[in-house]
């Protein structure tokens, strides 16, 4: 079955960097876009970023543009979220999610369990 497992979350100080990983299995990673979504404690869902299946497109929320970068490694079936210059307001549980649609960017379908990131 489709699985996504996030890792790399921890407590970091403001201004520092962190890289999250999302290891996937159960589907053809090379054919689907991967999204990153976060949820601050007690708040709703906030979309963060997406990278297309072929790495030709990457889009970001305004709140992270210029600080966060998403990438992917098809040899490892893994997506990454590089987070630089972290702020207190980046504190959240971060989810990676596989897109719904083969070959294009649309909306998230399968989600990982999430990984907490605390900036303090």
Q: List residues near another protein by CB under 8 A.
A: 35, 37, 44-47, 50, 57, 59-62, 95, 100, 105-114
Nearer to another protein by Cβ, of 13 and 66: the residue is 66
- What is the closest distance, in whole angstroms, from the C-beta atom of residue 94 to another protein in the complex? 11
CB 55, min distance to another protein, A = 15
Q: Which is nearer to another protein, 106 or 118 (CB)?
A: 106
Could you tell me the smallest distance in angstroms from the CB atom of residue 84 to another protein? 20
Q: What is the 3-state secondary structure (H, E, C) of 39-101?
A: ECCCCCEEEEEEECCCCCCEEECCCCCCCEEEEEECCCCEEEEEECCCCHHHCEEEEEEEECC
Q: Which residue has the tokens 């083969």?
A: 102
């Amino acid at each position: 079955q489709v699985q996504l497992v996030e890792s790399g979350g921890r407590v970091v100080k403001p201004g520092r960097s962190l890289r999250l990983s999302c290891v996937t299995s159960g589907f053809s990673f090379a054919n689907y876009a991967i999204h990153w979504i976060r949820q601050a404690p007690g708040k709703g869902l906030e979309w963060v970023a997406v990278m297309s299946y072929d790495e030709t497109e990457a889009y970001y929320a305004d709140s992270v543009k210029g600080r966060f970068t998403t990438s992917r490694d098809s040899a490892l079936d893994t997506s990454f979220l590089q987070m630089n210059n972290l702020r207190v307001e980046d504190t959240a549980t971060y989810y990676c999610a596989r897109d719904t649609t083969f070959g294009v960017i649309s909306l998230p379908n399968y989600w990982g369990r999430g990984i907490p990131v605390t900036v303090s």
